[in-house]
Amino acid sequence: MTRYRTVDLLVTVLIGAAFGVAFLGYGQLYTLIGPLTAAFKPAEGLLAGLWFLPAMLAGLIVRKPGAALLAELIAAVMSMLLGSQWGWGTAVSGLMQGGGVELAFLLTRYRRFTLPVAVLGGVLAALLEWGWEKLAYYQEMSWAFSGTMLAFFLLSGALLCGVLGWAATRALVATGAVDSLAAGREHSRAAAV
Amino acid sequence: MERLRWRPLSRREPTIDGLDLEIPSGQRVLLAGASGSGKSTVLRALAGLLDPEDGEGEGLLPAPARPGERGLLLQNPVHALVGATIGRDAAFGPENAALPRPALHEHSSRALAAARVDLDPARAPLDASGGQQQRIALAGSLALDPELLLLDEPTSMLDAPTAEQVRTAILDAAGEATLVIAEHRIEPWLPHADRLIVLGPQARILADGTPGEVLAQQRETLVRAGVLEERAVGAPDTAGTTSTRATSADGKIVAALRGVTVPDRGLTAPQELEVRAGRLTVLTGPSGAGKTTLLRLLTGSRTPEHGEVERPAPDRIALVPQDPEHSFVAATVREELRASPWASDEALAEQLLERAGLAHLAGAHPHRLSGGEQRRLAIAAALAQRPALLVLDEPTVGLDARRRREVLDLLREARDRGCAVLAASHDELLVAAADDQHALPAPRPDAAATPAPRRIPADALNPLTLCLIGILAAIGSFAVQSWQGGLLALAPTALLAPLAVRSLPGAALRLAPILLSAAGLAWTTALLGDAPALSAQAWLVGLKEAARITAFVAPGVLALGAVRPTPLGDALAQRLHLPGRPVAASVAALVRVSHLGRQWSTIVETRTRRGLGGARSPRLLAGATLALLVDTLRGAEQQALAMDSRGFATATRRTWAEPSPVGPADLAGIAIAAGLLIWPLLAELLVGAA
């Protein structure tokens, strides 16, 4: 179960790389909520969950220890090399987000890959990432607003990372693109027998 | 191989059902069969790469004893390329075999010469043309002196002259090695093969013998298997040439290019093109000539440098990308036909479903269709939008004879409905059937040459030193307590910045987002801090935060500008001794950024063209992400195969083609890193509010 075949390794790192590229396109989303976040920064937490998706998808698809963390780190490193304005903060974010999702799968000893586990992963990632951002970026934000931000982070982690990531994995399984991986195999067995 | 059986977990029926095959050493075998006959699976079995975790098998061959003993070349070279440069790509196999550096370089340069790769080894393989890419991939599989070379439709994505060059390179380079070539277009290979094996469904052998015998005695079988066409092989389709088709010569001009050039994409000669209703126009030209750019001009995704473009309104233009999966959005074939808001006619959709031969698959998942079915679905979905102009990029590439004909029939259908059809293609079948042809001239060979980037002092540092500078500076920045201290803390960064800046525009591009974010943070802090909102005191706290965050990120961002994935991987593996396989795989993923970027733009563009929303639509972005993942994950499977055939599966102790040098410059770098760590604290002691 823990042995990484070449395909497992590649799927993990390529999920990270693909999101590294897709994230450039997501920048557009921030312009949508721009007016809101200019007046009320904590609202940016509403989109936070999107950034944890590489970890969630790699965890749910590859189902091996370390996959979630590695995919998120690759996405972070790619952002950094492309010139992300948060510099090394991005790497720590990758560690927090990937680590949070990883932790949820670790708690089930990599046996359960269900919607509740995915939501838990999103929530843990949100919690850790919020902690890091509070420390590094929002030291001077008052605790009332920081608390509001945490609420937005947790909501976003649960929905945009947990629920959306789980749904995206199911959609990918349906396309047949992951037939040779753990997530697809479960589906194949059900369909082929 | 004896009694080989293989059933992938995802299938109910085996893809290989009891295959006996014996190939004597040195034989050149042509393995023919229509798409879906199991040729690729047989090649994987011969390579020893069928993974027992993926299915049920009997009689499987063991994995090769020596890394790279059995080379494998895939249909799409994009999946075989792993290196940031051509030289590193060729060295991948020898690295996996843990060859010492001198032997490693000898192997890779010999392989590049044998595969006739005549490009600068410092160039990026993923930016080379299709024919060049396939030769680079060939070099990759030759680098470990394979005794058996397995080729999976290696020329099916190339135009005829390029395919010929690649074929010659393969045959010359193979030397004494045993060769197994899987192909559905067999005739160009026939003179070079000792043996022709024709596979039917489930890889059952329909014919086996010398090419001469099989062709003479079993022509019928070959035609039925879809390997030969009923007409004489290679004869052009006589359905119509430009002069004989008088019916629609007066078709209305639907789109036109007038004196158009796009010099940075190879379109230097002014282009004149009229695309008329009810006519099939084929756009030809060697790779790199700018076919795709010309299509993008007509769909409105690009503007020309000079000249004028006429085109219909956006909702009357339909685009079918080269990879049909890039356009799919729905969970069933029927929904796919009506996914575009411009495809409102239900009766038309049903009719097109019938015409495309997909009626029996109406409930199937688009992504699970075969390659030929996917092409037809994408075309039918485009036609459901009732376009005035239908634009297609290589609509038959990689398909076998029968599937190409089916696609052509659908294009004829579109034309007869009065649609102006424009297809970029090198398929002689399409060219022969076209009403009009527009040929682009070959690009000038030196058009792609890019000047080497200016060397800067930061380039002299090991990537790890550059990382250390960023990390220690980030840690040091936490000492900032006041706005005075914060501003002083930034001084060394400002002084040292020129050492890491390649060009002023580049530096602006990297620094502007930082300053913008810092300004944003100042505003947020002034607004939402503990001090009264937007008071003078709140603004000073904001200024402190802006200075602190700049001191946190700016040194790292500047230093990272000189970090490249490949040297970073070399350093992580050789200096920090991180495990080789994950490092090598991560580098292979990171060097694909420009390739992934191109896929992403095609996907977004295709969907925008279907009327599914703009680049800011969350739904479009979600769908595009999923499509990019499907593309990436399918590619990952092929890539894993290509890498394992180059010895990656067992490469836990691999060598690295380039060292990761640490020199005197790094001492200076470490001193800078230490300085940036403590300077903010000193600055605070010097000028901070006591």
Is the C-alpha dihedral spanning B349, B350, B351, B356 positive or negative? positive
pLDDT band at residue B658, thresholds of 50, 70 and 90? very high
Highest-scoring range by mean pLDDT, A16-20, B54-58, B342-346, B433-437: A16-20
Q: Judge residue A135's burial from the number of C-beta atoms within 10 Å of its C-beta, 0-12 exposed, 13-18 middle, 19 or more buried.
A: exposed
Domains of chain A as residue ranges with CATH: 6-192 (1.10.1760)
Residue B464 near residue B575 (C-beta atoms within 8 A)? yes
| Of the partner residues B474, B529, B582, the one whose CB lies closest to the CB of residue A70 | B582
With residue B436 as reference, give the H or E element that holds it: strand B436-439
- Nearest partner of B540 among B576, B487, B590, judged by Cα: B487
A80 contacts on B by Cβ (under 8 Å): 556, 560
Cβ neighbours for A112, distance < 8 A, ≥ 6 positions apart: none
* A55: contact with B, CB 8 A cutoff: no
User: Which residues in B37-61 are b (16+ Cβ under 10 Å) and which e?
Assistant: bbbbbbbbbbbbbbbeebbebeebb
Q: Tell me the sheet residues that pair with B282.
A: B423, B437
A5 contacts on B by Cβ (under 8 Å): 51, 53, 640, 649
| E strand segments, A5-101 | none
pLDDT band at residue A193, thresholds of 50, 70 and 90? very low
List the single best residue of A1, A10, A56, A139 to mutate versus B (max B Cβ within 10 A): A10
* B584: contact with A, CB 8 A cutoff: no
pLDDT per residue as tens digits for the range A172-192: 999 988 888 888 877 766 665
Answer whether B632 sits within 8 Å of A18, measured CB to CB. Answer: yes
- Nearest partner of A67 among A164, A192, A181, judged by Cα: A181
DSSP code for B451: P
pLDDT band at residue B242, thresholds of 50, 70 and 90? very low
Going by their DSSP bridges, the two strands B317-320 and B389-393 should be labelled as parallel
* B474: contact with A, CB 8 A cutoff: yes
Answer whether B10 sits within 8 Å of A11, measured CB to CB. Answer: no
B624 contacts on A by Cβ (under 8 Å): 22, 25
pLDDT for res B229: 65
pLDDT per residue as tens digits for the range B388-424: 999 999 999 888 888 888 999 999 999 998 999 999 9
What six digits make up the tokens of B114? 């044998």
Answer whether A10 sits within 8 Å of B643, measured CB to CB. Answer: yes
Give the whole-angstrom CA distance, residue B115 versus residue B171: 10
User: Which residues in A62-73 are b (16+ Cβ under 10 Å) and which e?
Assistant: bbbbbbbbbbbb
Instruction: Using alpha carbons only, give the angle B416, B419, B422 rounded to the nearest 5 degrees.
Output: 110
Answer whether A9 sits within 8 Å of B581, measured CB to CB. Answer: yes
- Tokens 């708690």 identify what position? A107
Torsion (CA) B383, B386, B389, B391 in degrees, nearest 10: -20
**Ramachandran angles phi, psi of B99, nearest 5°:** -70, 145
| E strand segments, B74-194 | 148-152, 178-183
C-alpha distances in Å from residue B629, one per residue of A12, A62, A166, B125 = 11, 14, 14, 22
Checking if the pLDDT of B235 tops 80, the result is no
**How far does A172 lie from chain B, in Å, by closest CA?**
7
- Nearest partner of B205 among B192, B218, B193, judged by Cα: B218
pLDDT for res B289: 80
Checking if the pLDDT of B233 tops 50, the result is no
Checking if the pLDDT of B584 tops 90, the result is yes
pLDDT per residue as tens digits for the range B93-127: 999 999 999 999 999 999 999 999 988 999 999 98
Identity (one letter) of the amino acid at B329? V
- Nearest partner of B385 among B355, B351, B340, B417, judged by Cα: B340
What six digits make up the tokens of B603? 């996907």
Mean pLDDT, chain B, as a whole number?
89
Give the whole-angstrom CA distance, residue A186 versus residue B77: 31
Instruction: Tell me the DSSP string of B459-504.
Output: GGS-HHHHHHHHHHHHHHGGG--SHHHHHHHTHHHHHHGGGG-S-H
* B463: contact with A, CB 8 A cutoff: no
* B533: contact with A, CB 8 A cutoff: no
Checking if the pLDDT of A65 tops 50, the result is yes
Least confident of B169-183, B385-399, B436-450: B436-450
- What ipTM does this complex have? 0.95
- Nearest partner of B426 among B227, B159, B657, B685, judged by Cα: B159
Give the whole-angstrom CA distance, residue B426 versus residue B404: 12
Q: Tell me the sheet residues that pair with B393.
A: B424
pLDDT for res B397: 87
Domains of chain B as residue ranges with CATH: 4-224 (3.40.50.300), 253-444 (3.40.50.300), 457-565+665-687 (no CATH)
Give the whole-angstrom CA distance, residue B657 versus residue B570: 9
Q: Which long-range contacts (CB under 8 A, 24 or more apart) does B26-29 make?
A: B26/B176, B26/B177, B26/B178, B27/B178, B27/B179, B27/B194, B27/B195, B28/B174, B28/B178, B28/B179, B28/B181, B28/B192, B28/B193, B28/B194, B28/B195, B29/B178, B29/B179, B29/B180, B29/B181, B29/B193, B29/B194, B29/B195, B29/B196, B29/B197
B554 contacts on A by Cβ (under 8 Å): 87
The 3-class SS string of B502-517 reads: CCHHHHHHHHHHHHHH
Residue B102 CB neighbour total at 10 angstroms: 8
Between A97 and B203, whose confidence is greater? Answer: A97
pLDDT band at residue B580, thresholds of 50, 70 and 90? very high
User: Which residues in B486-510 are b (16+ Cβ under 10 Å) and which e?
Assistant: bbbbbebbeebeebbbbeeeebeeb
User: Which residues 85-124 of A are in CB contact (within 8 Å) with B?
Assistant: 85-89
pLDDT band at residue B248, thresholds of 50, 70 and 90? very low
For the segment B207-221, the average pLDDT, to the nearest whole number, is 86
What six digits make up the tokens of B128? 């080379």
List the single best residue of A2, A9, A28 to mutate versus B (max B Cβ within 10 A): A9
